[in-house]
Amino acid sequence: MKYLYLFLFTIYFPIIPVSLPAQPGTPLWYMVNALGSLSNALSTKVDAAEQTYRDITSCVVLSSITPPATIQQSGNYCLSSNSAGTITIDADNVTLDLNGHSLQGSVQVNAGRQQITINNGIIHNGGPGIHLVGTALQPIKDVNIQALLIHNCTNALLADHTQGLTVSNNQLFNNTTIGIGCSTCTQVTIATNTISGSQTGISFIENTHSTIKKTQVMQATINGISIDANSSCVTINACNIINSGGNGYRLLGENITLVNCLASGSTNGFTASGGNLIVLTQCQAKNNTNGFSCTNNFGYVNECTAISNNTGFLDSGSSVSYRSNLAAYNTTNYNPGATFSPTSTTSATNYWQNITIS
């Protein structure tokens, strides 16, 4: 292909016999420089086209899937059309590119696999859409799931015993039970996803050292984000939970940090119960039955805002410290009755510089 371009170039721009070097500033000097720039631009475009061709031809096309289809060798795999069935990945270093097509069924990654990418398409009506079937003795490692629409599955994504999982830029709609469920996983990053219409948007069970950020959960019937009592070291940043039928955020574990998160239209916006060192900073609860409901053993609620809830801050005798929070236009700003005060320690030893607006 490159030689074809060079052939055409010589036809349209034949070699002109000149005495080189041309003097700077002369018409010939400008022509030589212009032709050199054009030649470089053509060469760059040819190189890019050849690289694209190599990328396409290096993909093993799964043009027709008869369940079950199993990938047993490393490589790049892609769909050439809409398909139905189950794709099982039983090899390391595999990229499965749905190539903009839809898969009616499931993708399963077997125990012990690593360096897996699944992206760029639609998975629907599976049970679950994607399942990472790791075990304690054979965990799955380093998985990247991105740019997918997963809908109408029993669960969109389930990960068991997985180390190093990134789930980003996906849309998970109308999956029956769980949007993203991780059990006994570590180093999980969930970022920039939209989840709607499941019983629970995100569920962590026995997870550690994980992050959820910039993700929105809507219309969850039980919990928006649920962190169980055996999970620890979880950070949730800049997430929105809207219209959850139960808890927006259900926080039962230890060393859980929330920053700049919103809960709106839920029964309990933020529920912290049982665990130690649950810290909420600059979070907002709006239009919930209870904005912040804290019964955990120890933690902090800092610079948070409760607006237009039935109860802004509901504290049932916990050891949580409240600092510089704002309760405004709630039916009851604080319950069981001690009022927030802009001056320190006027109501209790663990309430400092909080403000109430009725």
How many of the other CB atoms lie within 10 Å of CB of 48?
A: 10
The average confidence (pLDDT) of the chain is 84
Reported as a single tens digit per residue, the pLDDT across 314-348 is 877 567 888 888 999 999 887 754 444 444 444 45
Q: What's the farthest any 2 CA atoms get from each other in the chain? A: 96
Average pLDDT of the segment spanning 161-188: 98
Contact criterion met (CB below 8 Å) for 314 and 333: no
Reported as a single tens digit per residue, the pLDDT across 87-122 is 999 999 999 999 999 999 999 999 999 999 999 999
- What three-state secondary structure class fits 353? coil
Phi/psi zone of residue 238: left (φ > 0), alpha (ψ -120 to 50 degrees), beta?
left
d(CA 94, CA 113) in angstroms, rounded, equals 9
Reported as a single tens digit per residue, the pLDDT across 259-270 is 999 999 999 999
- Angle at which helix 2-12 crosses helix 27-57, to 10 degrees, equals 160
Residue 26: band (very low, low, confident or very high) from pLDDT cuts 50, 70, 90:
low
d(CA 150, CA 306) in angstroms, rounded, equals 34
pLDDT at 345: 42
pLDDT at 332: 86
The domain segmentation of the chain, as residue ranges, is: 2-56, 68-357
The pair of structure tokens assigned to 348 is 């209790």
DSSP 88-113: EE-SSSEEEE-TT-EEEEEEEE-TT-
pTM above threshold 0.85 = no
pLDDT at 11: 41
Phi/psi zone of residue 33: left (φ > 0), alpha (ψ -120 to 50 degrees), beta?
alpha
Reported as a single tens digit per residue, the pLDDT across 195-230 is 999 999 999 999 999 999 999 999 999 999 999 999
CATH superfamily of 68-357: Single-stranded right-handed beta-helix, Pectin lyase-like (2.160.20.10)
DSSP 232-258: EEEEEES-EEES-SSEEEEE-SEEEEE
Q: Which residue has the higher pLDDT, 216 or 352?
A: 216
| Alpha helices (runs of H) in the chain, residue ranges in sequence order | 2-12, 27-57
Q: Which residue has the higher pLDDT, 42 or 94?
A: 94
Reported as a single tens digit per residue, the pLDDT across 272-309 is 988 788 999 999 999 999 999 988 778 889 999 999 99
Per cent of the chain over pLDDT 70 is 76
- What three-state secondary structure class fits 350? coil
